[in-house]
Amino acid sequence: MTFIVRQIATTADGREIIRSNPFPADEIGIGRSTTNAIHLPDLAVNPDHAVIRKRDDGRIIVESSSGQNFTLDGKHRISVTIDPATGAELGFGGHVIVVSEEGEDVVLTVKRVEALSDSAESRNESTLYTLKGLLPGKRITAWGFVALVLAAFLVWPIYTWATWRGVEERPDQFHADTMWSSGALSSAHHALEKDCQACHVDAFVTVKDQTCLTCHEEDAHEHAAKSRLLTARGGPEGLEVIGAAFASAFNKSPGRCVECHSEHEGSGAMEPTAQKFCADCHDGMDGRLTDTKLENASDFGISHPQFRPAVLVTPGGKNPQRERVSLDDKPTDNNGLKFPHDVHLSKTGGVAQMGRRLSAEYGFGSSLACKDCHTPDPNGVRFEPVDMKEDCSMCHSLAFDEIGGTVRTLRHGEPAMVQADLRAYYRSTGPTRPINLGGMNRRRPGAGNEVRVASDYARAVQFRPSRANLAISQVFSRGGACFDCHGVTPPTARGRVDYGIMPVTQTDRYMHNGWFSHEAHNDEKCTSCHNAPTSKSADDLLLPGIKTCRECHGGEFQKASDVPSTCAMCHDYHADDGAPWQIRKEQKDKQQKPEKKIVSR
């Protein structure tokens, strides 16, 4: 014999749903607990209210297991024996269980009847014995929270914004519209923390470029003409056209200031521009901007052209001629000087010997080093121009006379005055031997000049009537003080001695479209990047190529490199004469630059 429990549920439209579950057991339970075969979700029913057991004669016994009674045909009972063939109707709270027989099985049909009290099925223990029953329904609660959120995070901030609009600095108190901020301002804009309207001029409108230019007009400008920027970037394709239209409607068109300079991302320094911002244009740009002279670039480590420094084609005062040439073409730099680095950096030559003799006075080592002649600028970014009086005169003297302990020197950089001083010297003193004019009578370190010095002296004595002209010729000729380092222009006519000096141009920056700081590379030796010890000519361009830089610098995503480097590390989008954070500082330094101390001997 098997118990078959049939649960009958009634839908809202009166349709009955019947579910039958067989229980091949000798005993089943009735109660509010879900562990019972007959589960009655009714507070009038105990968790384990009663049990039904089989008898050997085919009848069943219904007995209360909780001490609470039930009804049999309307009468209260604690225990009752029922013949399934005859049938019966049991009552448990708001439920009725009809007992019947189908073959050898006992059928227990469970049906919900009209509730007369709190035993109704819609009520449960949590609502009867807690405050939950007094709360509003879920739908009302949900809509209430929606209204609360709108009021707290939309209506209140808008009211605050409208109330304090136009106030340059708000008082120290809570302002509701600050809840809209996604984060703290960077250190560059920290002073604007209490002045939201300085950037957010109109409500629900993104920051406009014109607002940025209110403060940054002097140090920010277009990277290139607007039309060329758009062409280089390329237009949207496919579904991107729809997105671009919406973006334009909400002032989110490409090329805005905030597309690169994103704010509210933390109180430190502003995050550098992502490499993708640059690669969107420069990766395959020659296919879109067909007249460009720039080569494609998308990643320093794997896709970047060789460096193209602006080298001197002809030196020339304030307006020297320069030309950008790839380092692959091994360009030279015509700066107007004669200077062999290898001689000056030699460990064993005459220059090294002279450096050791002067080491106590000038701090030289066992031989000259780069730092002995090249002085970093105040920012540590580049180097000061090499100065004759400060950096060279301790070895290359221009002294020619001494009067009462005062040493007279030729005027460096003024060839006409050199010639005038020599003529005046010979007219006033009428010496019987040539004066000490550097190359005329000096013995240069490492050079066998004893024979020439003697012949120069003999020739000077032989031509006493023109000793001044001879002295001038010797100064500007091979072996002379000026000729050793400078290109000399010959006299304009036969018999004249109006020598000239070719202009000298010292380049302090070759990469005008890139940024480099020597201070950031202080841990490296100069010779790690500049092959000066083997250079025999001042025309040698001692710049490292891209291969040398890649030994340490990789692209943005090359984490294995010592220094993963984005485009923004070396390139300034606004193409000023320096990094954005250095421009004003360098200008201020130049204005306050102290005068150089002149060193001579």
Mean pLDDT, range 271-288, rounded to an integer: 88
HSE-CB of 306 using CA atoms within 13 angstroms: 12
pLDDT of residue 429: 60
What are the pLDDT digits (tens) for 227-264? 888 889 888 888 888 888 887 777 777 778 888 888 88
Give the mean pLDDT of 566-581.
Answer: 72
Rounded to whole angstroms, the Cα distance separating 94 from 78 reads 18
What is the residue type of 114?
Answer: E
**Residues 383-412: what's their mean pLDDT?**
88
Cα three-residue angle 536-539-545, rounded to 5 degrees: 95
**Local structure of residue 20 (DSSP, 8 states):** E
Please give the pLDDT value at position 171. 81
Give the pLDDT band (50/70/90) at residue 340: very high
Place of tokens 């949900």: 142
Q: What percent of the chain has pLDDT over 90?
A: 36
Query: Could you tell me what percent of the chain has a pLDDT over 70?
Result: 86
Tokens of 564: 């993963």
Mean pLDDT for the stretch of residues 531-550 = 94
H or E stretch covering 423:
helix 415-429
pLDDT of 38 strictly over 70: yes
Specify the residue for token string 């007219």: 427
In the three-class reduction of DSSP (H, G, I as helix; E, B as strand; rest coil), residue 243 is classed as helix
- SS3 labels along 327-358: HHHCCECCCCECCCHHHHCCCCCHHHHHHHHC
Maximum Cα–Cα distance across the chain: 161
Q: How does the average pLDDT of the chain come out, rounded?
A: 82
What is the number of other CB atoms lying within 10 angstroms of the CB of residue 298? Answer: 20
Q: Distance from CA of residue 95 to its chain's centroid?
A: 72
Q: Which CATH number fits domain 3-133: 3.30.450.40, 3.40.50.720, 2.60.200.20, 3.90.1310.10?
A: 2.60.200.20
pLDDT tens per residue, range 109-158: 999 886 444 444 445 555 555 666 677 888 999 999 999 999 999 999 88
d(CA 89, CA 163): 74
Provide mean pLDDT across the span 484-512. 88
Mean pLDDT of 394-403: 85
pLDDT value at 309 more than 70: yes
Beta strands 3-10; 105-112: pairing state: parallel
pLDDT tens sequence across 522-536: 889 999 999 999 999
**Given this model, what pLDDT does residue 426 score?**
81
